[in-house]
């Protein structure tokens, strides 16, 4: 027996009186609601990812290290509206790609990682300074006996 036959049989055997007659309908609505919510979150995540990729491609500049979707690494030589020329290898071969063929901007990724590391180091230094400052400000306890 296939799934459609089982579903038909369940729908046909549902009592039509007031005692639970709408339970199958309720389950179908709940299932449909879960599906709609799931699709909403998936499409939202995809839109966010596409927006980040477009921003990365628009912020490319000459001298950046890039990786193409084909696995070719190179340094950007020129950037036009919808194409990029990269230089690869020791013999400096130049290859032209569309911007959509660029998977990652390695230089920009490294700059972002360095900036995050610097922020984290600054937070750690501020915590240490705050800790050192607060330990100096504590008044000494005096016994009055």
pLDDT digits (tens, 9 = 90+) for 88-116: 988 889 999 999 999 989 888 888 888 88
The predicted pLDDT at position 141 comes to 64
Residue 135 has pLDDT above 70, yes or no: no
For residues 102 and 144, the model is more confident at 102
Residue 22 has pLDDT above 70, yes or no: no
| pLDDT per residue as tens digits for the range 30-82 | 999 999 999 999 999 999 989 988 888 888 889 999 999 999 999 999 999 89
The predicted pLDDT at position 113 comes to 85
Q: Cα–Cα distances in Å, from 121 out to 42, 47, 127, 132?
A: 35, 33, 10, 16
Residue 54 tokens read as 């477009």
Residue 1 has pLDDT above 50, yes or no: no
The predicted pLDDT at position 74 comes to 93
For residues 64 and 14, the model is more confident at 64
139 backbone φψ class: left, alpha, beta (φ>0; ψ -120 to 50): beta
Residue 123 has pLDDT above 70, yes or no: yes
Nearest-angstrom CA–CA distance, 143 and 43: 67
Nearest-angstrom CA–CA distance, 126 and 136: 15
């Amino acid at each position: 027996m296939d799934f459609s036959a089982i579903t038909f049989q369940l729908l046909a055997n549902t009592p039509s009186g007031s005692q639970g007659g709408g339970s199958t309908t309720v389950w179908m609505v709940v299932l449909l609601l879960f599906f709609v919510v799931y699709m909403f979150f998936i499409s939202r995540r995809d839109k966010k990812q596409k927006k980040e990729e477009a921003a990365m491609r628009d912020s490319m500049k000459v001298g950046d290290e890039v990786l193409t979707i084909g696995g070719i690494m190179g340094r950007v030589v020129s950037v036009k509206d919808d194409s990029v020329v990269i230089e690869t290898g020791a013999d400096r071969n130049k290859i032209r790609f569309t911007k959509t063929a660029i998977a990652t901007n390695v230089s920009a990724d490294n700059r972002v990682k360095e900036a995050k590391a610097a922020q984290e180091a600054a937070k750690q230094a501020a915590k240490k300074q705050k800790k050192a400052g607060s330990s100096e400000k504590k008044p000494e306890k005096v016994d009055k006996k």
